[in-house]
Amino acid sequence: MITNQPSDAIIQPSGHKLFFALWPDEDTRAALARLQPLAPGRAIAPAKLHLTLAFLGQQPAAALAPLLAILEGLAVPALPLRVDCLGYFQRPRIAWAGLTAPPPALLAMQAELMAKLEATGFSAATHGQFKPHITLAREAKTAPSAAHFAPVPWQAREVALVESFPSGIYAPIAVKTA
């Protein structure tokens, strides 16, 4: 079931910068935010912490209806995740938290999403193989601290179609719950 259908206030003819993401509940988001001191760089606002499944970039307003249909048709299982490692993408200078062993159901759902996007004519940005992660900080000059931390359990139940606004706010347009 999809909630938070777009309103006329959200739909703008100029287009939208969009992505699909696993959207954490507030407790998980707070636990992820507690990892940020381990990540050098400019910390991401806790309200923006998420796990990107597919980045779509700038899309026209007409793209919302087919993207909402893709979300509606996506099989969203309850995903028990264990955020248990830190990493670093050197080129974009991103420090992140991730999963040492992503569950097969997560990888299958993301592959299904990518296939549905491609079949509908959307080109989601990929940077090689899908590496599930939560960006903790940007402009990181080094990798996160090697300090050990208690893994963050996340019972992921929500996939969101999210809009990124020029003001830096991320707002789910629609959310499908497992």
| 59 residue type, one letter | Q
Among candidate residues 93, 102, 101, the one with its CA nearest the CA of residue 53:
102
What does DSSP assign to residue 38? G
What does DSSP assign to residue 46? G
The strand pairing partners of 2, in sequence order, are 176
Within a 10 A sphere around the Cβ of 87, how many other Cβ atoms?
Answer: 15
At residue 118, φ and ψ (nearest 5 deg) are: -65, -40
At 137, list the tokens: 């900080």
pTM for this one?
A: 0.89
What does DSSP assign to residue 164? E
Is the per-residue pLDDT at 177 higher than 80? yes
What pLDDT does residue 146 have?
74
Using DSSP's 3-state secondary structure scheme, residue 73 falls into helix
Superfamily of domain 2-6+16-177: Cyclic phosphodiesterase (3.90.1140.10)
Q: What is the pLDDT of residues 118-154, one digit of tens each?
A: 999 998 766 678 999 999 999 998 888 777 899 999 9
Q: What is the pLDDT of residues 35-92, one digit of tens each?
A: 999 998 999 999 999 999 999 999 999 999 999 999 999 999 999 999 999 999 998 8
Give residue 3's pLDDT band: very low, low, confident or very high (50, 70, 90): low
Q: Where are the domains of the chain?
A: 2-6+16-177
The residue among 124 and 12 whose pLDDT is bigger is 124
What does DSSP assign to residue 14? T
